[in-house]
Structure 1
Amino acid sequence: MFRALRYRNYRLFFIGQGISLIGTWMQQIALSWLVYRLTDSVFLLGAVTFSSQIPSFILSPFAGVLADKFERRKVLVVTQALSMVQASTLAALVLTQTIEIWHILTLSVILGIINAFDIATRQAFVVQMVERREDLSNGIALNSSLFNMARLIGPSIAGLLIAVVGEGMCILINAVSYIAVIASLLLMRLRPFEREKKEHKVWKSLQEGFTYSYNFAPIKALILIVGLLSLFGMPFSVLLPVFARDILHGGANTLGFLMGASGVGSLAGALFLAQRKSVIGLGKVIIYTMLLFSVALIAFSFSKTLYISLLLMLFTGFGMIVSMASCNTLLQTIVDEDKRGRVMSLYATAFMGMAPIGSMLAGAVAEMIGVNYTLAACGLLCAISIVPFALNLSRLRQMVEPIYQRLGIVPTIATGLQAASNLTAPPEER
């Protein structure tokens, strides 16, 4: 389950990123609570999320070109340092009680621009830290487990700290936590970076990446799933402060518990993926977990009991992370190495870029029809969005079979054809 940790560079990244992610989740919870406390507006909750994520929709493809042309570690050091400056500025404004909603919106846009370059580069960087290709899927799954362990710990701590010392301290802790991931990047021992001799202009490189992804149906299908799940599924986290305060009649600690429960489910999902030894079968896993997420989300939207809501959050967390991480794993498996950065930037665009649109739409619709019906509609749309993928699964798995044979995932053509009857995957910061 933890075989990717035998690589020194990956261990360093795992530790540094783990510390930083706890701070990131603390800031996210603190910021959501701060915005809702200051404005009492569901729409502005969505607007802040929109501001922080829409830059990824616009800039991630360019970030992918950067990830293929420059040393990825240096790019990550720069993005993490800039994120620390952003968090420090936000913490100073909150702690001095001079924060206004326009400050939050502006700093959210700045963080979104930084994240556009960070996420695409980080996704492509995993393959450099995990030296053996067969351990790549395990490294991606452990990344997901790390992300969700932080989602379990960070919001729980933040919920308690907000009640005692306010939101500013949570944001300050996040600013300090970036030191850990920057240090881990600087301590890595990597092969000397070799710039690609074949130089293209940015637009030519972008066009090549889009054409490659669009013309290969399995890649296109996986990116589409991620985009639809982000568009219809991610808004649930934006609306959680409303459920915590107005429906479950709790405070910041209730919000922390809900996010923590989702984190427990996500961690279980990530560990479920980590113990898998092959990507074979992930296609059906994506279908089942998307449906699980959809049903749990619909049920949660009408729950008015904290314990039932916490239980349903476990299932939403499990379903979402397994679906997202499975798509990531399959993409990383089948993509050509020289186009990895650009394809993963499209993944980042779908993941981070569609979420803000969904958040704005959900916030606006919730103002009109209420958060309950809005979230139920999101769950229903997620269930519908997986249907085309399920219907085309057989055709897609035939297209990836030659890639599996070339990589040794299916050892020989003879055994590969035999295994194809069970092959269910058209081959998921973060």
Structure 2
Amino acid sequence: MVDPARTLRPPVRFRPRISLLPLRFRGYRLLIIGQGTSEFGNAFQLVALPLLVYSFAGGARALSLVVAAYGACRLAATPLGGVLADRFGAWRVMMAADIGRLLATGALAAVAACQVESFFLIGVLSGLVGLGAGLFLPAAWAITPSLLPQEELHAGNSLNQTVNFAAGLIGPGIAGAVVAWLNPAMALTADALTFAASAVTLLMIGRGQLAAPAKDVAERASVPRNFTGLLRESRLLRIVLTVTVAANLTMGGMTRVALPSLATDDLGTGAIGLGGLLAAFTGGALLGGLISASLGDLRSRGYPAVFCGLLMGAAVGLVPFTGLWGAVLMLCVAGGASTVLNVLIITGIQKNTPPALLARVMAAVTFCGLAVFPLSVIGVGAAVNAFGSRVVFVATGLSLLGAFGYALTRRELRAM
């Protein structure tokens, strides 16, 4: 006898080859080129800014304040970016953010070239770069559905993630060479030029090429009219935001604090080992983008997304108990699972959110992920000092298992 529940469950289709069909669409192709170039340029600032601060005899405290200025401004600007993108259009917000970051990064390059030893000025300019990043993020996620047909949206999000992770994997090595052979000013200039390249691709896309939303999505846009109403009516959105907060409670602190402690104190591998562990997670995330791109346009994303979350939790919890090579493997698995999870959730949100509110919804999801980062770092730092890094990895694994175990019990998410 055939199980009716099994016949009603939407099939998960897997394509053995990566779908490159989204690249047929000129607007999307330009978008992914611009964002990949900008992501590649971010590595130059990540490498050059600390060396610039240290070259002015600034220590870890000065660097932490500069980085905090960037993070605080990015966090504060993310909700604003969602509101502005929904009100004035994602294209305009992205263009303004790119031009703003171009000017601020160019000013940082001038500070480095002219040897202006002002940590306050460096912090202000870094904050402006963070402000642009916060404005850009929700608008970038909101513009993608207007550049692709609905059936190619999943593949488009997957390719976007793949390109960004590839740029993030390649960028630091090249940026380090530029700083070592030349100087931080040249690296920051290169970063500024990548923002210019992103702005040029947006100009080439043009506001006139943005497609109208799909009919079924457009019809849902009539109600509700604002984000508060949507949050009140959509249990799916409330579940996604709750799971996002719970899943990120210790993830940031784990990667920034517990992982360096594990590499140096527990595994005894030092900086080289830490670099390898970080590269394993990033490499796994890149592989996850390729895997995600191989999936078809799923009719249901809930079950695969929850499975990826549970897999990530199990892998993270096992990291400190498997030796160096086992830790590399587990972090690779966790990175891959996280990318597939993100693509599934983002695509589901894009397809189930009225276009007029999409940027604000993406801003809310991004904000929930970023807002817990400072608390995560502080809490994990205290936990590592008191109990050691292994406890943090176990706690992170359990929090991920708990978050996605809860998600598994929610019908709205399972049916997404």
User: TM-score scaled by structure 1?
Assistant: 0.76
Q: Provide the C-alpha distance between the structure 1 equivalents of 2:273 and 2:185, rounded to a whole number of angstroms.
A: 19
Q: Provide the C-alpha distance between the structure 2 equivalents of 1:217 and 1:209, rounded to a whole number of angstroms.
A: 13
Amino acid at match of 1:233: M
**CA drift at 1:73:** 1.7
Q: In the alignment, what sits opposite 1:396?
A: 412
**CA drift at 1:5:** 0.8
Contact 2:317 2:394 in 1 (8 A): yes
Q: Deviations over 1:209-242 (max 9, x none)?
A: 0220242111221222223333332333423555
Q: Provide the C-alpha distance between the structure 2 equivalents of 1:81 and 1:100, rounded to a whole number of angstroms.
A: 24
- Residues 223-372 of structure 1 correspond to what in structure 2 (within 5 A)? 223-239=241-257, 248-251=268-271, 256-301=275-320, 305=324, 307-372=325-390
Percent sequence identity over aligned pairs: 24
- Residues 30-429 of structure 1 correspond to what in structure 2 (within 5 A)? 31=49, 39=59, 50-93=68-111, 105-130=123-148, 132-158=149-175, 170-191=187-208, 208-239=226-257, 248-251=268-271, 256-301=275-320, 305=324, 307-392=325-410, 395-396=411-412, 424-426=414-416
Q: Provide the C-alpha distance between the structure 1 equivalents of 2:332 and 2:383, rounded to a whole number of angstroms.
A: 25
Residues 320 and 236 (structure 1), Cα distance of their counterparts in 2 relative to 1, 3 Å cut = farther
**CA drift at 1:173:** 2.8
Q: In the alignment, what sits opposite 1:407?
A: none
Q: Deviations over 1:287-344 (max 9, x none)?
A: 2222222233233346663x44433331221122222222111100111122212212
Q: Which runs of 5+ in 1 are unaligned?
A: 195-204, 398-423
Q: Provide the C-alpha distance between the structure 1 equivalents of 2:277 and 2:51, rounded to a whole number of angstroms.
A: 13
**CA drift at 1:383:** 2.0
**CA drift at 1:248:** 4.8
Q: Provide the C-alpha distance between the structure 2 equivalents of 1:315 and 1:231, rounded to a whole number of angstroms.
A: 20
**CA drift at 1:29:** 5.1
Farther-moved stretch of structure 1 (222-231 vs 328-337): 222-231
Q: Provide the C-alpha distance between the structure 1 equivalents of 2:270 and 2:182, rounded to a whole number of angstroms.
A: 18
Amino acid at match of 1:332: Q
**CA drift at 1:72:** 2.2
Contact 1:51 1:109 in 2 (8 A): yes
Q: Provide the C-alpha distance between the structure 2 equivalents of 1:331 and 1:166, rounded to a whole number of angstroms.
A: 43
Amino acid at match of 2:293: A
Q: Give the match's secondary structure for 1:277.
A: coil
Q: Provide the C-alpha distance between the structure 2 equivalents of 1:104 and 1:242, rounded to a whole number of angstroms.
A: 29
Contact 1:258 1:313 in 2 (8 A): yes
Farther-moved stretch of structure 1 (32-41 vs 351-360): 32-41
Residues 190 and 208 (structure 1), Cα distance of their counterparts in 2 relative to 1, 3 Å cut = closer
Q: Give the match's secondary structure for 2:297.
A: coil
**CA drift at 1:8:** 0.3
Contact 1:159 1:256 in 2 (8 A): no
Number of residue equivalences:
383
Residues 171 and 284 (structure 1), Cα distance of their counterparts in 2 relative to 1, 3 Å cut = farther
Amino acid at match of 2:285: S
Q: In the alignment, what sits opposite 1:199?
A: none
Q: Give the match's secondary structure for 2:295.
A: coil
Farther-moved stretch of structure 1 (76-85 vs 236-245): 236-245
Q: Which runs of 5+ in 2 are unaligned?
A: 1-18, 212-222
Q: Provide the C-alpha distance between the structure 1 equivalents of 2:67 and 2:385, rounded to a whole number of angstroms.
A: 16
2:34 aligned to which of 8, 13, 16: 16
Amino acid at match of 2:311: L
**CA drift at 1:117:** 1.3
Residues 88 and 370 (structure 1), Cα distance of their counterparts in 2 relative to 1, 3 Å cut = farther
Amino acid at match of 1:21: E
Q: Deviations over 1:95-138 (max 9, x none)?
A: 666667666654443333222211111111112221x1211122
